[in-house]
Amino acid sequence: MKKYNLIIEPWRDLPGSVRRGQSGFRWRVSWELEGLYYAEGFADSHAEAREAAEAYLIDKGVKLGWQSA
Give the range of the structural domain holding residue 24, as residue numbers without chain letter. 4-59
> Considering the entire predicted model, what is its pTM?
0.79
Q: Which amino acid is at 41?
A: G
Tell whether 27 is covered by a domain: yes
For 41-59, write each residue's pLDDT tens digit: 989 899 999 999 999 999 9
Q: What is the pLDDT of residue 49?
A: 96
Would you say residue 1 has pLDDT above 70? Answer: no
For 7-44, write each residue's pLDDT tens digit: 999 988 766 655 667 788 999 999 988 889 999 998 98
Distance of CA 57 to the CA centre of its chain: 8
Tell whether 69 is covered by a domain: no
Secondary structure (DSSP) of 18-49? TTTT--EEEEEEEEESSSEEEEEEEESSHHHH
Q: What is the pLDDT of residue 26?
A: 92
